[in-house]
Amino acid sequence: MQEEKISDYYALVLYKAFSKAYAQQPGNPVAVKQYEHEGKPIDVFKYKVDKFGFVVILYQNNVDDLILNVKIQLKELKNLEVYLPEKHNSQTIQFKVSKGETQMVILKAKVSDIDNPVYSYSYGEVFKFSQNLSSSQLKHLCQSQGQKTQSLNDDNIQVFHYKYPGGFADFYMNKGHKGVLEEEITFDLKNFLVNGAETNDLKITLPPGQEFLLDLRVKDIFDSYSFSRKSKTKLIK
């Protein structure tokens, strides 16, 4: 049994290497799909390899600032089983493809005649793009591309709002020499994390010369999400 597991492991490693090399070989095969974002083609591709009783669906992301989120619903599998990923939920497979990554879904024929396997399959795919932005990137984007939503204390206290794929951010700045901003926020959230945590309450205290970044990110981009908030703002001079 142990030898069989080891053999199976090396077969998987070798086939993954073969599939990746085969898919990326110029002209063989042509990408099944080139993805678009905001109506423009981007350097994110899907390939498909069907050889030796295996079906490989390979995803490659060469874009710096976007994450490809994929959800596959397998349908009508005949003489095939899911070989990779090892962990999946029944007929549903969900994963992310970050910058420079390649992810594979491998279906393996359940027949013994590997030279002449008979199998069929179909699947549905849903995809969405998200961004994994750092705090420094979000601060910059809030100021350069966001909308100013608050201006207090002779414009020395400013708040900028920026929406990005998979979330949004509010960047608070106190550039004055006096005056403290206090804000209490109560959220009504569905499928959101507040600065990486599950919470419905937040208190912000912003003294002179300080900054604060509020980052709300969707937990599962394929699930529905919503939010509302109520704020109490006070300026202490």
- Model confidence at 21, pLDDT cuts 50, 70, 90, reads low
Dihedral sign, CA of 77, 78, 83, 88?
positive
Domain 2-130: which CATH number of 2.60.40, 3.30.70, 3.30.450, 3.40.50: 2.60.40
In tens, the pLDDT along 54-109 reads 888 999 999 988 999 999 999 888 888 888 887 776 789 999 999 989 898 988 88
pLDDT at 24: 59
Q: Mention every residue, 6+ apart, whose C-beta is less than 8 A from residue 38.
A: none
CATH fold, domain 135-236, is Immunoglobulin-like (2.60.40)
pLDDT given at position 151: 93
Tokens 């994929």 -> residue: 70
Note if the pTM is more than 0.95.
no
pLDDT of 109-146, one tens digit each? 886 655 666 888 899 999 999 988 999 999 999 999 99
CA distance 235 to 127: 44
Question: Is it the case that residue 5 has pLDDT exceeding 60?
Answer: no
Of 23, 29, 7, give the one whose Cα is nearest residue 106.
23
Q: Classify 107 as helix, strand or coil.
A: strand
Per-domain residue ranges of the chain: 2-130, 135-236
Under the banding of pLDDT at 50, 70 and 90, the label for residue 183 is very high
Higher pLDDT, 195 or 18: 195
